[in-house]
Amino acid sequence: MSRQDRLTRAARGRDCQVRLPGCMNDTQTVVLAHYRMAGTCGVGIKPNNLQGAWCCAYCHDAVDGRRDIGIPRTELRLYHAEGAFRTIDLLIKEGILCP
């Protein structure tokens, strides 16, 4: 298990920022879901925590391919990327990250 830092801990109890259709925004299941992109991760290596979105279990399962919700993979990646940008914006507004 990876070591939690202030960015992963900040996800607890938050609103889901990925917001896929069907998302119930279960704040009890929100975690920092890493966006996987070539060159920033690999087998057993997660991307850095700035490359993550606050994501509920429903959305996390969909973007990680564990749940089929009928949305093409390319569109799921867009939802996830936009969720990561929304998460970064909130972290800056709350003073957790400095711009």
Sorted by where each starts, the structural domains of the chain and their CATH numbers stand as 6-93 (3.30.50.20)
With a cut of 50, say whether residue 73 has pLDDT above it. Answer: yes
Angle, CA 23 vertex, CA 3 and CA 4 arms, to 5°: 5
pLDDT for 1 equals: 41
Cβ atoms of 30 and 12 closer than 8 Å = yes
Exactly one of 11, 32, 34, 60 is catalytic; name it: 34
- Which pTM value belongs to this model? 0.87
Structure-model confidence comparison of residues 97 and 84, the more confident one: 84
The answer to whether 80 is a known catalytic residue is no
Distance (Å, whole) CA 30 – CA 15: 7
Distance (Å, whole) CA 22 – CA 16: 12
Distance (Å, whole) CA 86 – CA 99: 14
Q: How confident is the model at residue 4 (pLDDT cuts 50, 70, 90)?
A: low
